[in-house]
Every structure is written in C-alpha cells, then in structure tokens.
Structure 1
Amino acid sequence: MKIGPYEIFTVNSGIFSLDGGAMFGVVPKVLWNKTNPADELNRIQLALRTLVIKGDGRIILIDAGVGNKMNEKLRKIYNIDSQQNDLERGLAEKGIAPEQVTDVIITHLHFDHVGGATRLDNGLLKPTFPNARYYVQGEQWYWANNPSEKDRASYMPENFKPIEEAGLLVELNGPGEVLPGIETLVMYGHTHGMQLPKISDGKSTLLYCADLIPTASHIPLPYIMAYDNNPLITLEEKKRLLPQAVREKWILVFEHDPFRPAGTVIETEKGFKLGEEIFL
C-alpha cells in the first residue's frame, strides 16, 4: 500500500494468547467465541503485527511485539512460541536490518507492544534498533514507570529502560505530527497516553488502532477489553473516532487480529462493523 511518499506493509512478529474473557469484557463468551475460539484454558490466539513505513529516507516501525526475553513461566502463561516471536527475522524477510530502522513509534509500553524493542546481547540489555529514535508519549512513559496495581504486570522495565539509557527516547507531549505525514492521536481509556499513529496524504488515511480496537471483533462499541483502565473513556473514544473513520473511509490496522490485519468500517442499523477486509 502507498500513502504519500510511504510504502506501508505489516510484519507479523509472532503470536500469543490472552484470556478471552479479559479480551472482551462484558461481552458473553457465547458471542465472542464464534469468531475467536478459546482453548482449554479460555485463551484466544492473538497476532503481534508491526506496521512498517518506508520512504522519505526513513524506515519507521510501529510497535515491536513481545520480543524474546520472557522466561519460561511467562511464555507458558501467554502461550508464546519463541520460534515465531522474532521481529528481527520478520524484518529480515523484507530485506530490513535492525541498523536500518530510523524511527520506532511505540503506541504504549505494555509488554506485547514494546518487548521486541530491546534484546539481550551477551547477557546485556540493548535497544534492538540502535540507530533509531523511539517515540513515546510522555504521559505513558510516566505511567509505565509508576503503574497502578491493576496494570503493573503489563509493564516490564527491561523492555523500555534500555532505550532511555541509550539516549534514544523521544518523549512526545500530546497529539500532533511526529514525522512528515504521520501524526498521532492520544487515547486514555486503555492506558494513560496511548498513541495511535495516523498516516494520511489527503486522499487516503490509515490508522493503527493499537489496543483501542485490537481486533476487528472489537469494532462494535460495547466490545471493550477488561484490561482497559477506564472502559467508559474507551467507549467515548470509539464513539468519537469511528464515525469519522466511516465518513472518510479510513483503513484501520488491527494489531492483534490473527485473521484480519486491516479493513474499513461501516455503520449499520445495529452499529459499527467491519466493512472491506484489507491485507497489507
């Protein structure tokens, strides 16, 4: 896909699983299990989908998956296959070396979004992309370093502290343009200061939905994760964003959907739902 000067595609950096009930909040299992079948532990399989934006002399990544640093206990809990969770290998298949990446936009600092941004090198933690700048909302950086009891387990300092220590961290202060043609929208329902990158050239618009709409199944307004710190704020954010996405025919990228990487949204008498499926 081409938007403005950029070639845009996705790289699957792996798969993992989370509890289906937690992923769908108040929605009954009899509804979500139809499209997201649970395993014997009630977990549903989810994708780890990094967006790659190439052009204008840059190689930009949006989010970095879980990485390969987790211990065996956590790998079992989250059903992580370390052989499949390798962002570097996925990029190599597209002809991209870690040293070529110029920018990494991190939507938020939960382990499944930033884990691949750092790696172990002979026992030392280092940024995976040594020549890149890493963009994080300042509010989210503060929250990650001072999490609540509810979401503390989602923030693992080894995933983001090495970025700061290497002098590669760029803290953003609210919504706006980050790079030419790329702006971020800032959300507060899922976590404080989550940013959604939006790429537009006046003709086409693509929005990386992160955990506001993690899968296409989460397009309907009531489908909100129990993981969200402020679900009613998530609801208002969806009510504000989805009508514009329908009117302007935005392409939404679903970071965690194992079957549908992207698509448009339509509004029916029953509410918002997936329109055309799009493969990037």
Structure 2
Amino acid sequence: MENLQRNGMKMTWLNGGVTHMDGGAMFGVVPKPLWSRKYPHNKDNQIELRTDPILIEKDGKRILIEAGIGNGRFSDKQKRNYGIKEESTLENDLEKLGLTTADIDIVLMTHMHFDHASGLAKEVNGELVPTFENATICTSEIEWNEMKNPNIRSQNTYWEQNWKPIEPQVKTFKEQIEVVPGVKLVHTGGHSNGHCILVIEHEGETFIHLADIMPTHAHANPLWVLAYDDFPLDSIFGKQKWQQFAKEKDAWYLFYHDYKYRAIKWDDEGQVSESVERKQYAYLT
C-alpha cells in the first residue's frame, strides 16, 4: 500500500478493485492516436482504471475517499462488460493497518456512480448491509437526489442496491462541506450534475483530487473529457478553474482511477516534478 505522509496527516491508497473501460469513451472526442500515447490500452481498446479509495488519517479522524467496487456486487455479465479483473481487498488492507471497517468515521463520495459507490455495501447472510457501519457518508444533495431518482441515461450507473443500505448514514450538502479543518468536498458538476472534487490544505501544502473531471494523469488537458460526462463543458471549465488553483498552490494531484500514479506534481512546463507511483503495476498491451 502506497502512502503519502505529512506531519499530522497520512494518506494511504487501498485496493478497491479494478475495471477496464473503453478507451474511446474515456477520452471522448480525442482521437486514439493522441490519447494512446498518454495511456496504455489492451487489444480490446480498454484502459485500466483502478478504483482505489484513499484513507486519510487527520485530526483523530479516519476519512475514506470513495469506496471502490466492493466484492460480489457484480454479475458475470457485468464483470465482462466492465472489465472487472480484480475485486476489492479493502477490508484486508485495513486489517494490515490494524483497522476494521468500523474504524472509518467519514466516507467522502465525489459522486455515486457504480465504480465509486458499489463498495459502500456488502452482502451478509443474503442481505445488503453498509460496509462502513459507523461512518457518515457525504455527497452533494444534487448527486444524492439523482442517485435515488435516476433518468433514462443515469439509471445505468446509479443503482438502488448501492443507496438503499446506506440511506440512514448519508449527509448531503449544497456547495461544499469541510469535514475536518482543511479537508473539504466542493461541488463542481460536469461528470455528473452533482459531481464534487476534494481539496486538502494542510500546513502550507495543498492536495487536490479532481475525481472524474480528471480521472487520470493523461486527462490533464482541459479539453480531454469523458464521453460519459453529462455536462462536458462544465467539466472543461471546472478543470480549468481548479488546475489554475492547483498551479497557484503548487498542489499535489491525487488519483483514484490512475493505473500508474497515486499522486503527482507538475512543474510550470508540464513535466512531472514529484510523484508517488503504484509499487506494483503491469500493463499488457
């Protein structure tokens, strides 16, 4: 498990499983000869997308960013369609850290699509129950409302079985929520109408998780947005706004989906200046 530590704060990446999604969909209108130079793909034109939650330990709280895809939440057909080659080992990872799911105080959800939210529930004795039994689960009011009332397009990713077991634990907000000093979710829209990003400010350093308006390091170009985005122009404008913020703050970018990088910093020329890489990754093309 990779981690990034600062005085009074520790971030640890847990294994939440992996999907393999169509590269064309993940890069929208960007031609394959361009995006394929930045991110590898397999023979089926799929790219590897981790779903690895970030555990933040700060101010006596244990905060999880996203929830992974969980275990036993997908049919064989869904596993094939979503390229799921590996399911979550999050509970085992927590055990290695001397923790259990009961020790998670807060779960921050940038949005509630299935590849972020399926790990919020698990099956016990044939019944779906919350994975993080003591946690408050935070997401935007807009996102939660659409999760419960999806439209003809979003019903493919907002699933009743992902929200019903956790409903009593959910806390919503409108524009932003700060759960401990310096750790906040901020509503952006774009990828979904209720999509949010994470901003962490700690002892003079800034860390930013742009979630699915910038799911991998290869999406750094503001115009490279997903075909899955409900409001692509909002994704573009949101990315521009927060990239400028990150530049002014010399911020670290954090990733949930990236196959290679956990965290990265770019210099003024757009070159990688510092990074935290996954210790073990392999990609067969």
Deviation at 1:273, TM superposition (A): 6.3
- The question of whether the paired residues in 2 share the 8 Å contact of 1:46 and 1:257 is answered with yes
SS at match of 1:49: coil
Change (3 A) 1:267 1:232: farther
Superposed CA offset, 1:143-178 (max 9, x none): 1122232222111121122101xx211112221422
Alpha-carbon distance in structure 2 between the residues aligned to 1:261 and 1:55: 19
Alpha-carbon distance in structure 1 between the residues aligned to 2:162 and 2:173: 18
Alpha-carbon distance in structure 2 between the residues aligned to 1:261 and 1:52: 12
Aligned counterpart in structure 1 of residue 154 of structure 2, from 130, 146, 151? 151
SS at match of 1:221: coil
Where does structure 2 lack aligned partners over 5 or more consecutive residues?
A: 279-285
Alpha-carbon distance in structure 2 between the residues aligned to 1:64 and 1:233: 25
Alpha-carbon distance in structure 1 between the residues aligned to 2:154 and 2:124: 28
Alpha-carbon distance in structure 2 between the residues aligned to 1:273 and 1:49: 25
Alpha-carbon distance in structure 2 between the residues aligned to 1:10 and 1:195: 19
Partner of 1:225: 226
Partner of 1:78: 82
Deviation at 1:112, TM superposition (A): 0.6
Question: Is 1:169 aligned to 2:170, yes or no?
Answer: yes
Aligned counterpart in structure 1 of residue 109 of structure 2, from 84, 91, 106? 106
Alpha-carbon distance in structure 2 between the residues aligned to 1:240 and 1:57: 32
Alpha-carbon distance in structure 2 between the residues aligned to 1:267 and 1:109: 33
- The question of whether the paired residues in 2 share the 8 Å contact of 1:101 and 1:129 is answered with yes
SS at match of 1:240: helix
Partner of 1:276: 274
Change (3 A) 1:24 1:267: farther
Partner of 2:56: 53
Deviation at 1:279, TM superposition (A): 4.3
Letter matched to residue 58 of structure 1: K
Q: TM-score, normalised by structure 1?
A: 0.92
Partner of 1:26: 29
Question: Is 1:117 aligned to 2:110, yes or no?
Answer: no
Q: TM-score, normalised by structure 2?
A: 0.90
Letter matched to residue 37 of structure 1: P
Deviation at 1:202, TM superposition (A): 4.4
Map 1:32-51; keep pairs closer than 5 Å. Answer: 32-51=35-54
SS at match of 2:242: helix
- Give me the CA root mean square deviation: 1.8
After superposing the two structures, state which structure 1 stretch, 30-39 or 131-140, moved more.
30-39
Alpha-carbon distance in structure 1 between the residues aligned to 2:58 and 2:175: 25
Deviation at 1:3, TM superposition (A): 4.7
Letter matched to residue 249 of structure 2: E
Letter matched to residue 227 of structure 1: Y
Alpha-carbon distance in structure 2 between the residues aligned to 1:238 and 1:31: 20
Alpha-carbon distance in structure 2 between the residues aligned to 1:243 and 1:119: 39
SS at match of 2:139: strand
Change (3 A) 1:26 1:116: same
- The question of whether the paired residues in 1 share the 8 Å contact of 2:260 and 2:277 is answered with no
Aligned counterpart in structure 2 of residue 139 of structure 1, from 130, 138, 142? 142
Letter matched to residue 236 of structure 2: L
Question: Is 1:93 aligned to 2:96, yes or no?
Answer: yes
After superposing the two structures, state which structure 1 stretch, 111-120 or 238-247, moved more.
238-247
Superposed CA offset, 1:124-152 (max 9, x none): 01000111111111110011122232222
After superposing the two structures, state which structure 1 stretch, 89-98 or 43-52, moved more.
89-98
- The question of whether the paired residues in 2 share the 8 Å contact of 1:266 and 1:274 is answered with yes
Question: What is the total number of aligned residue pairs between the two structures?
Answer: 274
- The question of whether the paired residues in 2 share the 8 Å contact of 1:221 and 1:235 is answered with yes
Alpha-carbon distance in structure 1 between the residues aligned to 2:277 and 2:209: 14
Alpha-carbon distance in structure 2 between the residues aligned to 1:251 and 1:121: 38
Change (3 A) 1:94 1:241: same
Superposed CA offset, 1:226-251 (max 9, x none): 11011111111111111121121111
